[in-house]
Structure 1
Amino acid sequence: MTETAPTPRKVWQEMVRGNTRFVSGEPQHPRQDVERRHELATGQKPRAALFGCSDSRLAAEIIFDKGLGDLFVVRNAGQVITDSVVGSLEYAVAVLGVPLIVVLSHDACGAVAAAIDSTTPEAAALPPNIWRQIAPIVPAVRHVIQSGDGGQIDAETVGRAHLRNTVTDLLHASELISDAVAEGRVAIVGANYRLAEGTTVPEIIVGDVEDAA
C-alpha cells in the first residue's frame, strides 16, 4: 500500500509536539539509532524543510526533537534569503517533496544587532562579506525606526519584522514555492525561537496549518 503523503498541517503538528517535548525536558530523541542510519543510506524523505539562522543555539533537530533524515536544514547568519537558500528550498519542495517550510528566527540575534548598529551615525565600516550578509536585514530596522517614537530600537521588533520580510522574500523569489503554496501542497511557518524558554512562536503562517496548536 502506498503511504499517504503528509499534509502541511500534520507535519507542523508533529513539529509543535516535538518542541513541546523539548521545552518540558522530556525529549524522545527519535530515529537516531544505527538502524535509522542504515535505513537512510540509500535515500532521504524528510518531513519538513527548515531555514534558520546559523546561531549555535538553533540546533533544529534538538529544538523540535527530531532524528536523522527528518528535517532538510538550510542555515545562514540572520536567515537571509539568497540564491543558494532559494535553490536549496526549491530542491526540498520539488525533489524531496516536503509539505512544510519552517523559517526560524530567534531573539538576541547577532545579525539583527549588527544591522541595527550599522544604521547609527557612528557605525564603523564592516568587512564587505559581513555587510552583504546583514544588509537584507536593514530594511526591517528602517521600518521599525519609521514606525517608532524616536527612542531606542527594539531588537525583537526588528527580528520579527525581518522574519516576516524573509517569508515574503522567499515567496517573491521562488515561483516554484509560491505555486506549491497556492495549490495547498506546501505551507510556510515563520516562527521565532525563544532562547531562554525553548519555545517556537509562530509569527507568520502562509498555508493551512491553523489547527496545529
Structure 2
Amino acid sequence: MQDPSRPGLSRRGLFLAGGAALMAAPAAFAATPRKAKPAAAPHAAADANAAPALTPEAAMARLMAGNGRYVAARATHPNGDAARRRLVAASQHPFAVVLACADSRVAPELVFDQGLGDLFVVRVAGNVVDDAVLASIEYAVIHLGANLVMALGHERCGAVKATADALDGHGSPDDADTKIGALAALIAPAVRAVPAGAADKVDAAVSLNAAHAAAEIFAGSKPLRSRVLAGELKIVAARYDLDDGKVTPARGREIA
C-alpha cells in the first residue's frame, strides 16, 4: 500500500528504510542533545500539573538511570503515593512509551523504577506491532506528549521461542485452534533473519524482533515518522536480561 506522504515509496520500503536507520544510527547516548520542544498536544501545555516535556535524550537518560537503580537493588519506587495518585487522576503526561512483552517477568514500571503517570506501557506477547498497538503508541506521542518510544524485547522470550520451534516444524499441537499463529506471523521475519551461525538463535531473534518492531513503528505511522525526522521523537530497540535485570539499548539500532 502506498504511503500518501511519500509518493512512490511503499510501506515495505519505509520498513526497510527504518531498519537501515536502526542499523546505521548512533547509540542513544552518543546522539547530540537537542533543544526541548513544547508538547504537541494543546491541552498538555494548558495543564498546570504537566511538567516540561523531556527531550528524547533526556527521556532515555531517565529510563536508563531508573534501570540502573533497579539492577543495583536501589530502586526508589517514585511517584507511587496517594499525592501522586491524586495529581495524575485528572490528566497524564508520560515521558516515554515502552512496548514490552506481556511476559509476567517483564514489568516496565519496575524495570525502569518509575511510578504512576511516568510511562505509557503497551504490552503484548512478543512485543509485536499491529494496528491496535501502533494506534496506542500514536496516542501517547501525539496526545500525551511522550518523546521516546522503546521496543523492549527480553531474554528467553517464550513467544519468540515458540515461533522458532514452529518454523522448525516443532510447533505445539495445542496451538492449532488458537490465535497464537497471528503472533508467530509477526515474529517470524525476525526469526528468519537470524544468521545461520548464531550461537543462540532465540536470543538473536529476540534482539532482531525488537529492532523490527521499532522499524515497523517508524514505517507504519506518518505522524510518528514526521516527528522522528524533525528530531522531536526517538524510537529505540532494547533487550531486557531476566537474570540480572539490565536493559541494554541495541547499539546502532535507533531511529532518530
Both proteins in one fold, TM over 0.5: yes
Please name the residue that 1:6 is paired with: 54
Q: Which amino acid aligns with 2:186?
A: P
SS in 1 for 2:120: strand
| 8 A contact 2:129–2:213 mirrored in 1 | yes
Structure 1 regions of 5+ residues with no counterpart? 208-213
CA deviation digits over 1:47-80, x for unaligned, max 9? 1111110001111110000010000110100011
Aligned counterpart for 1:34 among listed residues 74, 82, 94:
82
Equivalent in the alignment of 1:79: 127
Deviates more, 1:164-173 or 1:80-89: 164-173
2: CA distance, partners of 1:38 / 1:4: 19
Length-normalised TM-score, structure 2: 0.76
Amino acid at match of 2:188: V
Structure-2 change in CA distance of 1:3 and 1:194 (3 Å): closer
The one-letter code matched in structure 2 to 1:131 is G
The answer on whether the counterparts of 2:150 and 2:214 sit within 8 Å (CA) in structure 1 is no
Whichever residue aligns with residue 158 of structure 1, its letter is A
The alignment partner of 2:193 has SS state of: helix
Residue in structure 1 matched with residue 190 of structure 2 by the alignment: 140
Tell me whether 1:206 sits opposite 2:255 in the alignment: yes
DSSP-derived class of the 1:78 partner = helix
Could you tell me how far 1:164 is from its partner in structure 2? 1.2
Q: Distance in 1 between matches of 2:199 and 2:76?
A: 42
Q: Does 1:54 align with 2:102?
A: yes
User: In 2, distance between residues paired with 1:18 and 1:123?
Assistant: 38
**1:11-26 mapped onto 2 (5 Å cutoff):** 11-26=59-74
Instruction: Report if the CA contact (8 A) 2:215-2:255 is conserved.
Output: no
Structure 2 partner of 1:191: 238
Query: Which stretches of structure 1, 4 residues or more, deviate above 6 A after TM superposition?
Result: none
- Alignment-derived partner of residue 29 in structure 2: none
Which residue in the other structure is 1:211 paired with?
A: none
Alignment of 1:160 onto 2:207: yes
Secondary structure at the aligned position of 2:179 is classed as helix
Three-state SS of the structure 1 residue aligned to 2:100 is strand
Q: Distance in 2 between matches of 1:62 and 1:121?
A: 37
- 1:178 and 2:225 correspond: yes
Question: What is the aligned length?
Answer: 204
Gaps of 5+ in 2: 1-47
1:135-166: CA deviations, max 9, x gaps? 1111111222xx314x8861101111111111
Cα distance change on mapping 1:196 and 1:124 into 2, 3 Å: closer
Q: 2:164 aligns with which of 104, 116, 124?
A: 116
In the alignment, the residues of structure 2 paired with residue 148 and residue 120 of structure 1 have an alpha-carbon distance, to the nearest angstrom, of 13
**Matched AA of 1:30:** P
1:57–1:10 distance in 2 versus 1, CA, 3 Å = same
Take 1:121 and 1:96, find their aligned partners in 2: how far apart are those partners?
44
Q: Is the 8 A contact 2:56 2:147 kept in 1?
A: yes
